[in-house]
C-alpha cells in the first residue's frame, strides 16, 4: 500500500522577510526588486530529505513547477500532478484549487509550505469540503516558510515536519489534534501594530503530544483508558441526539455500553439513539431496515448514522471477523453520508494498537472495492478527545 502524500508549496511564501517587508502579501514585485529570494522550495526539500529512505513507498500528489513538482522530482520521488498553474506567478486561487484536488484524491496527509496566509487559504477549502457529502477529514501539516507563523498548524522546523510524516509512513502511532489557523493584518504589522485573528482550525498530526503522553503516562491503566474512550463516544452521542449509533461487538464496545447503563450483546450488534437502547443483537436485515428508516426520517442530509467498532486484539480485523452483520451494503450506506469515513468511529487503547507491532488494521468485508475504499489512514479514538492515525489495509 503506497503512502499518499499531498504536497503544496507557496513559492513566494516568506519572500518579504529577508528584505524587512514583514510579509509577502501583495508585496512580491517590491520584494524581488530589493533582492529577495524564494526560500519555500528549499525548506520543503529539507523536509522531504527525511523521507528519502522511503521513496519506493510514497507517491506525492502535487501541482506543477514550483508548487511541488520541481522539488519532489529533483529528489527522485514518484509524482502525480493534480493541478497545473497557468503562470509562474502563483496566487491564492492556485493553492486553493490544488488543495481541492488533493482532498478529492483522499491523500493520507497534506504537507504544505507557506505562512499564515497560505494556512488561511487551505483552511477555507478544508472547511468547505467538510460540508460536502462523502467527505472525510484529512490531516494537514505546515512546513514553516512564511514571514508570519502564528498558526498552530506548523511543525517547529522543516526537518520536524519531515519527521512527523516519517512516523506515518512507518506506521507509528501519531496523535491527531486540532490546530488553530491564525493570521495578522500585514498592513498594520508594517506600522508596528500586531492584530492577530483566528480564522478556523484544521486537523493536524501532533508528534510532540504523543511522545509526552508515553513518557509521563507509562503503562495505561485499562479501565481508566476505557472510561476516557467511552466518555468521548458518549460526548458524540450528546452532541448528536437524533443520530443512530451502531455499536459493534467486542470487549471495548461492551465497556462503552456498560458506561451507558445499557444491555449489550458482546458478540453482536446493538443500536443506540439518544443514549437509549433501540435494539439488541440485530441481524443484517434488521440493521438494514433500521438504517433505511433512519435515513428516510432525517430532516436533513447531515450525518445521522454513526458506526462504533473496535478491532480484534492481536489480529487487527475491523470488518469481516465477528461482525458479519456489518455487510458491504451496510457499510456503504454509512459511508454515503456527509463525512464519509468520519462516520465510522474505531475505538481502542494504545496498548491494544501497540500489540499489533505496526501491522495495519484489516478490512475484510468480502467486497474488494469497498476494502480499497476503507484503506489508508483512519483516526482511532484512544481516549477522551485523543486520537491517533493508524493504517487500514485490505486483505492480501
Over residues 144-179, the pLDDT tens digits come to: 887 667 788 888 778 889 999 999 999 888 888 888
Which percentage of the chain shows pLDDT scores above 70? Answer: 83
Q: Would the pLDDT of 211 be above 50?
A: no
Residue-range domains of the chain with CATH:
3-213 (3.40.50.10330), 219-393 (no CATH)
For residue 101, which of 54, 62, 48 has the smallest C-alpha distance? 62
* Neighbour-count burial of 238, counting CB atoms closer than 10 A to its CB (0-12 exposed, 13-18 middle, 19+ buried): exposed
At residue 191 the predicted structure's pLDDT band, cuts being 50, 70 and 90, is low
pLDDT given at position 136? 74
Give residue for cell 514585485: 29
For 139, half-sphere exposure in the C-beta direction (CA atoms, 13 angstrom radius) is 28
CA distances to 112, 190, 322, 359 from 317, rounded to whole Å, are 33, 56, 9, 11
C-beta of residue 233 within 8 angstroms of C-beta of residue 345: yes
Q: What is the pTM of this model?
A: 0.69
Poorest-confidence range of 53-62, 168-177, 245-254?
168-177
C-alpha 25/C-alpha 95 separation (Å) is: 14
Q: What is the DSSP string of 123-141?
A: HHHHHHHHTSBT-----EE
Tell me the C-alpha distance between 94 and 82, whole Å: 11
CA-to-CA distance for 23 and 13, rounded, in angstroms? 8
Grid cell 522550495 — which residue? 41
- Assign 151 to helix, strand or coil: coil
Amino acid at each position: 500500500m503506497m503512502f499518499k502524500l499531498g504536497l503544496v508549496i507557496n513559492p513566494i511564501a516568506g519572500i518579504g522577510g529577508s528584505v524587512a517587508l514583514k510579509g509577502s502579501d501583495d508585496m512580491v514585485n517590491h520584494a524581488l526588486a530589493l533582492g529577495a529570494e524564494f526560500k519555500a522550495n528549499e525548506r520543503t526539500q529539507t523536509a522531504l530529505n527525511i523521507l528519502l529512505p522511503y521513496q519506493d513507498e510514497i507517491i506525492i500528489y502535487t501541482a506543477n513547477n514550483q508548487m511541488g513538482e520541481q522539488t519532489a522530482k529533483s529528489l527522485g520521488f514518484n509524482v502525480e500532478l493534480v493541478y497545473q498553474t497557468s503562470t509562474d506567478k502563483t496566487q491564492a486561487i492556485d493553492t486553493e484549487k490544488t488543495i481541492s484536488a488533493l482532498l478529492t484524491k483522499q491523500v493520507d496527509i497534506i504537507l504544505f509550505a507557506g505562512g499564515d496566509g497560505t494556512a488561511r487559504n487551505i483552511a477555507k477549502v478544508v472547511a468547505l469540503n467538510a460540508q460536502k457529502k462523502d467527505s472525510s477529514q484529512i490531516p494537514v501539516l505546515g512546513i514553516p516558510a512564511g514571514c508570519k507563523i502564528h498558526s498552530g498548524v506548523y511543525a517547529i522546523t522543516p526537518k520536524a515536519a519531515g519527521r512527523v510524516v516519517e512516523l506515518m509512513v512507518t506506521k507509528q502511532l501519531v496523535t491527531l489534534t486540532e490546530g488553530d489557523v491564525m493570521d495578522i493584518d500585514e498592513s498594520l504589522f508594517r506600522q508596528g501594530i500586531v492584530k492577530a485573528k483566528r480564522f478556523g482550525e484544521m486537523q493536524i498530526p501532533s508528534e510532540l503530544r504523543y511522545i509526552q503522553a508515553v513518557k509521563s503516562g507509562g503503562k495505561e491503566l485499562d479501565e481508566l483508558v476505557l472510561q476516557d474512550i467511552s466518555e468521548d463516544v458518549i460526548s458524540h452521542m450528546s452532541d448528536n441526539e437524533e443520530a443512530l449509533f451502531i455499536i459493534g461487538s467486542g470487549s471495548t464496545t461492551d465497556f462503552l455500553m456498560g458506561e451507558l447503563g445499557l444491555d449489550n450483546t458482546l458478540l453482536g450488534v446493538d443500536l443506540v439513539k439518544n443514549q437509549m437502547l433501540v435494539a439488541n443483537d440485530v441481524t443484517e436485515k434488521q440493521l438494514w431496515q433500521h438504517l433505511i428508516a433512519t435515513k428516510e426520517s432525517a430532516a436533513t442530509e447531515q450525518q445521522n448514522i454513526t458506526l462504533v467498532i473496535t478491532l480484534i486484539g492481536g489480529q487487527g480485523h475491523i470488518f469481516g471477523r465477528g461482525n458479519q452483520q456489518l455487510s458491504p451494503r451496510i457499510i456503504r450506506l454509512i459511508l454515503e453520508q456527509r463525512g464519509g469515513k468520519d462516520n465510522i468511529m474505531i475505538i481502542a487503547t494504545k496498548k491494544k494498537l501497540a500489540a499489533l507491532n505496526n501491522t495495519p488494521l484489516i478490512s475484510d468485508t468480502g467486497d474488494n472495492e469497498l476494502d480499497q475504499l476503507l484503506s489508508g489512514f483512519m483516526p482511532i479514538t484512544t481516549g477522551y478527545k485523543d486520537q491517533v492515525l493508524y493504517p487500514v489495509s485490505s486483505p492480501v
